[in-house]
């Protein structure tokens, strides 16, 4: 049964929450008095549809149903989880939470607040045990972190259920054990932001120069190793103790103005805004969002390939979804991959390049192999399936942003051989087909060997089910052979 999420507030963050739940198969009801909310949420959802599938090595579940409620009661009735994302005013949040709890029936209520503590949100609440902070990061549909901050009044069962739900939709719930203003991550951001404002105000650097210092330097390190692990490496073989001994004394030097705040006046606002316009004004906000998303996909895919950092969350989410796939695909090829055509996939004609058709087929095949148990951990035992032969047919064009689906039909399987037919579909029609012969190999011996019973027990029932499917008309074709 499809679960429902109630989203109160349909701005950038609320829209991101809606997209995250929808693309993970939840129904979503959004309540926002802004008449532009459907358009704004729709634009966030379009960005998410073009981005999130590119992080997955298997098919996402069928997208949930999106509705817009005219009242909070309508939005939260029947919801298994509720996320509040209204403006950062405590009096407003208190009014909204009071309305939510009239119909929430004891389900978790997460707040997207970046500053308020859960104990502040719970003041005068009808049931404070169900309220906690679930603070995400923009774009919510791509970045996995959600700071889960309870107060002593929050029910342990509510905390556990919230963390389980966030994990289910592919997020990383960071349990902040002690509530504090601005939680964890935003306290770092506030310190960096404050220092950056001083650097601009004092004429030391422009907004563009500060951004370059981050993205050309420590920002790249932080994305994979965070703060302490970065400094541990900086300490060399002696590690963190050496780093602390070498650089600890400089904390007493008058480097920063972190304890002082520049006067926030019109002059400072105009200075910052003017430099920002000069730096990035050539792009619309939507263009910047799409650039940001495509770059994030690239970063996250690299981390995923290495099972590191946020990549671990993506791999775990894929594994959880694979467990939900049926062992057999009666009546149809098995859908194993969904992808989006990325900027690096297209040639000067604006079409997807030949190598990327092969890449899309490889992603589809790899997801199928993981489904039958021939995953990276299995390869670590010294055995794998090797592709011995591939025949590709180009049947249509794929262009930037197109959503692609990869399916596998097993033509034949035995102890050593796996003969499959891969279809790369756009809007339900094939843009390419690939026929592949894979052999099960003992990598150390360098020769074929029977697959173990655990894999065959997954593979052979699928092969038996696929015998009932029509034989692909292009299977077995030779190059240049006329179509039937």
Query: What is the spatial distance between Cα 316 and Cα 367, in angstroms, rounded to a whole number?
Result: 14
The DSSP result for 375-434, as a single string, is SHHHHTTTEEEEEEEEEEEE-S--BTT-EEEEEEEEEEE-SSEEEEEEEEEETTEEEEEE
Tell me if residue 253 falls in helix, strand or coil: coil
Q: Which two tokens stand for residue 3?
A: 């679960």
- Give the Å distances, CA to CA, from 63 to 41, 59, 66, 407, 437: 15, 11, 9, 18, 33
The DSSP result for 306-318, as a single string, is TT-THHHHHHHHH
pTM of the model: 0.76
Other beta carbons less than 10 A from residue 65's beta carbon: 12
Give me the pLDDT at residue 323, please.
67
Q: Indicate whether 429 pLDDT > 90.
A: yes
Q: Indicate whether 326 pLDDT > 60.
A: no
Instruction: Place 233 in a pLDDT band, splitting at 50, 70 and 90.
Output: confident
Give me the pLDDT at residue 21, please.
98
Instruction: Place 12 in a pLDDT band, splitting at 50, 70 and 90.
Output: very high
Instruction: Place 344 in a pLDDT band, splitting at 50, 70 and 90.
Output: confident
Q: Which domains does the chain have, with CATH numbers?
A: 4-175 (3.40.50.720), 185-282 (1.10.1040.10), 330-466 (3.10.129.10)
Give the model confidence (pLDDT) of 64-90 as tens digits.
999 999 999 999 999 999 999 999 999
Give the model confidence (pLDDT) of 250-304 as tens digits.
666 665 556 677 787 888 888 878 888 888 888 888 888 888 888 888 889 888 8
Element (H, E) at 251: none
Tell me if residue 319 falls in helix, strand or coil: helix
Q: What is the CA radius of gyration of the chain?
A: 26
Give the model confidence (pLDDT) of 127-141 as tens digits.
999 999 999 999 999
């Amino acid at each position: 049964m499809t679960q429902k999420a109630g989203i109160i507030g349909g701005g950038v963050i609320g829209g991101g929450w809606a997209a995250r739940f929808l693309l993970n198969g939840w129904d979503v009801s959004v309540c926002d008095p802004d008449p532009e909310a459907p358009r704004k949420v729709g634009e966030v959802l379009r960005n998410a549809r073009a981005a999130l599938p590119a992080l997955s090595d298997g098919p996402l579940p069928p997208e949930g149903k999106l509705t817009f409620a005219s009242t909070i009661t309508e939005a939260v009735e029947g919801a298994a989880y509720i996320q509040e994302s209204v403006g950062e005013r405590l009096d407003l949040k208190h009014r909204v939470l009071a309305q939510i709890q009239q119909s929430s029936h004891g389900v978790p209520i997460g707040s997207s607040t970046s500053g308020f503590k859960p104990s502040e949100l719970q003041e005068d609440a009808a049931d404070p045990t169900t309220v906690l902070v679930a603070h995400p990061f923009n774009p919510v549909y791509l970045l996995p972190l959600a700071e889960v901050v309870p107060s002593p009044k929050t029910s342990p069962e509510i905390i556990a259920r919230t963390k389980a739900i966030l994990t289910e939709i592919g997020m990383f719930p960071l349990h902040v054990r002690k509530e504090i203003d601005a939680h964890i991550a935003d306290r770092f951001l506030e310190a960096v932001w404050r220092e950056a404002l001083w650097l601009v105000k004092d004429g030391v650097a422009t907004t563009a120069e500060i951004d370059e210092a981050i993205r050309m330097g420590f920002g790249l390190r932080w994305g994979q190793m965070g703060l302490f692990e970065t400094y541990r490496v900086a300490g060399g073989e002696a590690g963190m103790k050496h780093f602390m001994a070498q650089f600890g004394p400089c904390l007493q030097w008058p480097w920063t103005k972190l304890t002082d705040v520049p006067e926030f006046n019109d002059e400072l606002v105009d200075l910052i805004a003017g430099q920002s316009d000069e730096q990035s004004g050539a792009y619309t906000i939507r263009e910047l969002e799409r650039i940001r998303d495509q770059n994030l996909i690239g970063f996250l895919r690299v981390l995923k390939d290495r099972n590191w950092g946020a990549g671990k969350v993506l791999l775990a989410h894929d594994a959880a979804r694979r467990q939900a796939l049926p062992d057999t695909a009666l009546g149809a090829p098995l859908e194993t991959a969904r992808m989006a055509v990325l900027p690096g996939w297209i040639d000067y004609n604006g079409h997807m390049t030949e190598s990327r058709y092969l890449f899309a087929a490889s992603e589809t095949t790899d997801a199928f192999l993981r489904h039958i148990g021939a995953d990276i951990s299995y390869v670590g035992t010294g055995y794998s399936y090797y592709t011995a032969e591939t025949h590709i047919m180009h049947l249509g064009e794929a262009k930037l942003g197109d959503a692609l689906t990869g399916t596998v039909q097993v033509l034949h399987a035995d102890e050593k051989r796996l003969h499959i037919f891969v279809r790369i579909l756009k809007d339900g029609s094939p843009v390419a087909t690939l026929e592949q012969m894979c052999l099960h190999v003992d990598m150390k011996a360098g020769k074929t060997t029977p697959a173990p019973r655990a894999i065959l027990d997954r593979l052979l029932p699928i092969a038996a089910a696929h015998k009932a499917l029509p034989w692909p008309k292009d299977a077995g074709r030779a190059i240049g052979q006329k179509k039937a």
